[in-house]
């Protein structure tokens, strides 16, 4: 029997009884509908109405839109159900993940680079307040992975780094402060991404740590988040063989399922050994990592039987809904597990409805600027370039690699041009397709070649590496002995692996105007570099130090 009066729900006896009573009065159809949190943006308003009123869907996540529009959408849907909705958002980088007027505060790795948990507290508060301003009450964050593998294309700047203690401290701080400000947190992606070099969006991936190493790393992250009252966990489509064997020594590797379908990992480890009593939701079931391990009906049934309480998104909701009803009626879906799942869903809703939290003001822009100032990291400067001025380099040639446009519609190239012109520099832009191979005799000693890199971390990529120009890679730092180069990355912190001989390299972590301008200020010596790298920006390579 689930005790709803204990951590993390802390319901009163009366509230607990109300949840149990409601769960007992729901029909099978209503219970199955409660299992789903759908991607609302793919449905028309009429279909959304039907999903709530006829299928009793539990919640939705909408892509960012103006706060007033999202509030109105929630209000309309609220009128169609007596059971409160879970109103989800991906607020990994700030309130803009739900609210178009919200703040792109920073990537989590940038927050960690400040080495200041007060910034993490402010970050969580901005996410909560701006998310709630759009009507949301459940945040699919923090990313609680550890970026052990520099080649992983999806963890990267979404994590708090590769140091276990740093990740533990930041995750705990974020969870505690987000929930104190009236929004449920969901640590993800249990049992932990960042070991494999591949993306679970594309196929199941593996956390291959030994059980001992897992408990000392990911296990600590989740255990300590649970200790501070974590309300929900999002489980990844990630296999953890050592933990599977710990619970069932007879399992063979071919029999091991991703956590989102694994009874060993959910009931055995997360519920059993870590003592988590909150809600468990799958990561998106549209992902390759979910779809490839079992036939669809079997996968859905396995998830609930294993210990999941909810599904995130659906390839075809009506098909999935029908599969689960069939499984319930033919006995392959445990009725006991269905009832437990529904009770935890209703308990989370009751907890959110009864939350009291301070109505405090936030200073989103000032706090974002503070984060940028404290995080920008001078990784390498073996040529002693920093600081420099226009007497030393009167000319700056800007090369943008990757995406020029960043948050809020700004362009890195224009921000750089306007900034350096305002400081008295001559500014030009380099376009490799307009150039040709050349020697070194005509190269200028008075020009700084500034390479600005923005290669975003995003789902469904096999790698996040620099792709130099197809024309002879003319934009790479080629003549490092004849010209002076500096490189700044506004996303991936590992680009030294693709430009190991560049002699000045800066990590700015987030593609925001604040990070761009703070980087330039520090290059010119207007403020010091104080950021501390949360990862090995040298990628474990010898030549990146040269």
| Catalytic residue IDs | 283
| Rounded (5°) CA angle 428-488-452 | 40
Q: Which residue reads 């953890």 in tokens? A: 240
- R_g of the chain, CA atoms, integer Å: 25
Q: Which residue, among 322, 355, 165, 142, has the nearest Cα to 234 in the 3D structure?
A: 142
SS3 471: coil
Written in H, E and C, the secondary structure of 82-112 is CCCCEEEECCCCCHHHCECCCCCCCCHHHHH
CA dihedral 337, 340, 344, 346 (to 10 degrees): 110
* Residues 6 or more apart in contact with residue 442 via CB below 8 angstroms: none
Of all helices (H) and strands (E), which one includes residue 324? Answer: helix 317-330
Q: How far is CA 167 from the centre of its chain?
A: 13
Token pair recorded at residue 29: 């159809």
Q: Which residue reads 């276990």 in tokens? A: 164
DSSP 397-452: EEEEEE--B-GGG-BHHHHHHHHHHHTT-EEEE--GGG-----STT--SSEEEEEE
Region of residue 402 (phi > 0: left; psi between -120 and 50: alpha; otherwise: beta): left
Q: Which residue reads 């319901």 in tokens? A: 11
Q: Which residue, among 324, 311, 303, has the nearest Cα to 261 in the 3D structure?
A: 303
For residues 339 and 343, give the distance between their C-alpha atoms in angstroms, rounded to a whole number: 6
Q: Given the DSSP bridges, would you call strands 504-507 and 426-429 parallel, antiparallel or unpaired? A: unpaired
Packing angle of the helix pair 412-422, 513-523 (nearest 10 deg)? 40
For residues 376 and 528, give the distance between their C-alpha atoms in angstroms, rounded to a whole number: 9
């Amino acid at each position: 029997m689930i005790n709803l009066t204990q951590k993390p729900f802390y319901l009163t006896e009366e509230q607990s009884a109300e949840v149990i009573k409601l769960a007992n009065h729901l029909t099978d159809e209503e219970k199955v509908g409660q299992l789903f949190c759908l991607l609302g943006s793919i449905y028309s308003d009429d279909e959304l109405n039907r999903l709530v009123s006829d299928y009793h869907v539990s919640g939705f996540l909408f892509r960012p839109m103006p706060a007033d529009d999202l509030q109105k959408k929630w209000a309309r849907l609220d009128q169609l159900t007596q059971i409160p909705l879970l109103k989800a958002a991906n607020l990994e980088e700030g309130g803009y993940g739900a609210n178009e007027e919200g703040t792109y505060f920073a990537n989590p790795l940038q927050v960690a680079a400040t080495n200041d948990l007060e910034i993490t507290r402010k970050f969580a508060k901005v996410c909560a307040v701006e998310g709630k301003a759009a009507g949301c009450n459940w945040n699919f964050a923090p990313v609680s992975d550890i970026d052990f593998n520099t080649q992983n294309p999806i963890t990267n700047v979404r994590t708090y780094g590769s140091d276990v203690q740093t990740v533990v401290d930041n995750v705990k701080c974020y969870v505690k402060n987000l929930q104190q400000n009236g929004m449920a947190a969901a640590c993800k992606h249990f049992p932990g991404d960042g070991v494999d070099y591949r993306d679970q969006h594309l196929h199941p991936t593996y956390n291959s740590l030994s059980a001992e190493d897992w408990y000392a790393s990911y296990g600590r992250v989740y255990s300590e988040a649970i200790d501070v009252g974590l309300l929900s966990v999002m489980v990844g489509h990630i296999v953890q063989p050592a933990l599977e064997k710990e619970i069932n020594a007879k399992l063979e590797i071919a029999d091991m399922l991703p956590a989102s379908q694994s009874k060993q990992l959910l009931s055995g480890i997360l519920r059993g050994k870590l003592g988590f009593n909150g809600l468990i939701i799958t990561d998106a079931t549209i992902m390759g990592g979910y779809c490839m391990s079992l036939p669809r009906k079997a996968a859905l049934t396995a998830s609930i039987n294993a210990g999941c309480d909810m599904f995130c998104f659906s390839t075809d909701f009506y098909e999935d809904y029908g599969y689960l009803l069939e499984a319930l009626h033919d006995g392959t879906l445990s009725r006991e597990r269905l009832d437990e799942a529904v009770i935890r869903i209703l308990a989370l809703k009751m907890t959110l409805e009864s939350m009291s939290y301070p109505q405090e003001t936030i200073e989103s822009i000032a706090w974002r600027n503070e984060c940028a100032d404290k995080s920008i990291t001078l990784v390498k400067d073996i040529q002693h370039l920093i600081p420099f001025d226009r007497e030393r380099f009167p000319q700056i040639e800007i090369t943008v690699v990757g995406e020029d446009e960043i948050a809020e519609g700004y362009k890195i190239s224009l921000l750089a041009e306007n900034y350096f012109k305002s400081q008295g520099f001559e500014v030009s832009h380099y376009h490799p397709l307009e150039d040709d191979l050349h020697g070194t005799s005509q190269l200028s000693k008075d020009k700084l070649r500034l390479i600005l890199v923005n290669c975003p971390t995003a789902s469904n990529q096999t790698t996040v590496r620099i792709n130099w120009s197809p024309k002879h890679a003319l934009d790479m730092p080629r003549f490092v002995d004849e010209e002076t180069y500096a490189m700044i990355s506004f996303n991936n912190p590992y680009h030294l692996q693709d430009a190991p001989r560049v002699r000045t390299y800066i990590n700015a972590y987030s593609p925001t105007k604040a990070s761009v301008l703070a980087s330039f200020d520090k290059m010119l010596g207007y403020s010091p570099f104080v950021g501390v790298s949360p990862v090995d920006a040298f990628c474990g390579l010898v030549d990146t130090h040269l």
